Amino acid sequence: EVQLVESGGGLVQPGGSLRLSCAASGFTVSSNYMSWIRQAPGKGLEWISLIYSGGSTYYADSVKGRFTISRDNYKNTLYLQMNSLRPEDTAVYYCAREPALDYWGQGTLVNVSS
Amino acid sequence: DIQMTQSPSSLSASVGDRVTITCRASQTITNYLNWYQQKPGKAPTILIHTTFNLQSGVPSRFSGSGSGTDFTLTIRNLQPEDSATYYCQQSYTSPWTFGQGTRVEVK
């Protein structure tokens, strides 16, 4: 059974950093491409980053230069390193398997506030 | 970036009704259009990928159509459990982009 479990969210001050993890089971992260998507409170969905099986990465303009997507093939885990966090980054962050985002994690809440 | 525009933003319909949600892309996305359902407090789940392909386990009352820039999600024989917000998403070119969502209320 395919499962994705995010962790690492929490309260952080503006300018701070967090690293989100997405532990996968039932499939191999390195053989698929994977995305991070976020949803601000009461708002719609925003795609923010993608990593292809070959390792190429892509980012939304809103996070480019601040966020880094990566994976650990041995741990079968996807990561999102978030630096220089802003209040507008407050959201539930989801990881999802591609193509077509066919499996999603339960989400982890990131709250950027002083 | 490709802009995705959904309409309507919300609708209310009765059990058994047929409901149609449209999604328009700002440029052609061929058939790289996916539909998701999200219930309050839950992660989205995929309903349809690449325009008309029903995801395994999704009821057949859901269907998708379209090509190029104009797409449609149809729900036939609307059920109470279909109350949710529906999003379209293009996966034609990065950055992936979502529509703003359509909230469906089942009366």
Cβ–Cβ under 8 Å, residues A18 and A111: no
Beta-carbon pairs below 8 A across chains A and B: 51
A2 touches chain B (CB under 8 A): no
Can you give the pLDDT at residue A32? 92
Across chain A, mean pLDDT equals 97
Q: How would residue A99 be classed by pLDDT, with cut points 50, 70 and 90? A: confident
Closest CB to A101: pick one of B1, B34, B95.
Answer: B34
Q: Which residues of chain B have pLDDT under 70?
A: none
Closest CB to B98: pick one of A44, A58, A59.
Answer: A44
Q: Over the stretch A72-94, which tens digit does the pLDDT of each residue have?
A: 999 999 999 999 999 999 999 99
The answer to whether B98 contacts A46, with C-beta atoms less than 8 Å apart, is: yes
